[in-house]
Amino acid sequence: MSDNPQIFPRFAGKTVLVTGAGTGFGAAIAHRAAQEGADVVVHYNRSREGAERTAAGIRELGRTAHIVQADIATWPAIEKLADEVFGLVGTLDVLVNNVGDFASETQGWQDLTPESLDRVIDVDVKGTLVMTHVFGARMLAQGHGSIVNIGSTVVVRGSARAPQYAAAKYAILGITKSYATAFAPAVRVNTFAPGFMETEALKARADWKAGRREKLIAATPMGRIPEPEVVAGTALFLATEEADHITGSYLVADGGYNMIGA
């Protein structure tokens, strides 16, 4: 990704924190933010090597990259992370809550276990809520900020494969709306919902390789399943000045697969 030039200056002089930026969509968002002029804080939990790659790509673009580690499933870890991040950058303009447990080990609702349910709720619901709560409060104190919570179009159709994942992503809508109201007008909070993206994790799944990919492409008007880089800029749009009057919203980029709305 590092051979791509700067694209737009939408985040020139700003700082952006992306959680789960060592791999997949988080890495693509972090890189895109740097292409648009941001200095980026790259968060990871276990993917240290991936975080180093993401940071190296950001630095090749001439931007500053900081690497931070935390398991955002616990409140104390998030408080500690906030201390570290604000200590590094002073002012944080944008938080992208990308981290989420996809329950990839679940191939059908029958596979649900107490452990999988607890992990998804801890990371996707509690983690997103507490990240929004703790970082949002500090953004309020500094007088500005924007938070983008990465949701999913799974809330439209549900998931017979992983109902715990659908439930958790639906909860993010409530988190977003609640804090959008609480933090207005200084700090905006929105949800970005990508459709299927061909991340390495998705391409490795057995059902994806067994024909699901082709079925989804056939049902998608745009006729493709994009790489994460294709929609990274769309996610970041919600944190730009162009989106200054958008808060509490749910923005979908799924190639027309769901066509939700009025």
Range of the domain at 146: 15-253
Which helix (H) or strand (E) is 217 found in, with range? helix 213-218
Q: What is residue 4's predicted lDDT score, i.e. its pLDDT? A: 63
Domain membership of residue 5 (yes or no) is no
How many other C-beta atoms are found inside a 10 Å radius of the C-beta of residue 5?
6
Q: What is residue 157's predicted lDDT score, i.e. its pLDDT? A: 87
Average pLDDT, the chain: 93
**Of residues 107 and 76, more confidently modeled:** 76
DSSP 8-state symbol, 209? I
pLDDT at 105 over 80: no
By the 8 A CB rule, do 251 and 190 touch? yes
pLDDT at 236 over 80: yes
Domain membership of residue 9 (yes or no) is no
Catalytic positions are: 165
Number of independent structural domains in the chain = 1
Q: What is residue 110's predicted lDDT score, i.e. its pLDDT? A: 82
Q: What is the pLDDT of residues 159-199, one digit of tens each?
A: 988 899 999 999 999 999 999 999 999 999 999 999 989 88
pLDDT at 19 over 70: yes
DSSP 8-state symbol, 152? -
Distance CA 233, CA 178 (A): 25
Domain membership of residue 261 (yes or no) is no
Q: What is residue 3's predicted lDDT score, i.e. its pLDDT? A: 59
Order across the sheet with 145-150: list the strands.
Answer: 65-69, 39-44, 15-18, 94-97, 145-150, 187-194, 250-253
> How buried is residue 84: exposed, middle or buried, by Cβ count under 10 Å (0-12/13-18/19+)?
middle
Query: Which residue type sits at 39?
Result: D
What is the domain-level CATH number for residue 215?
3.40.50.720
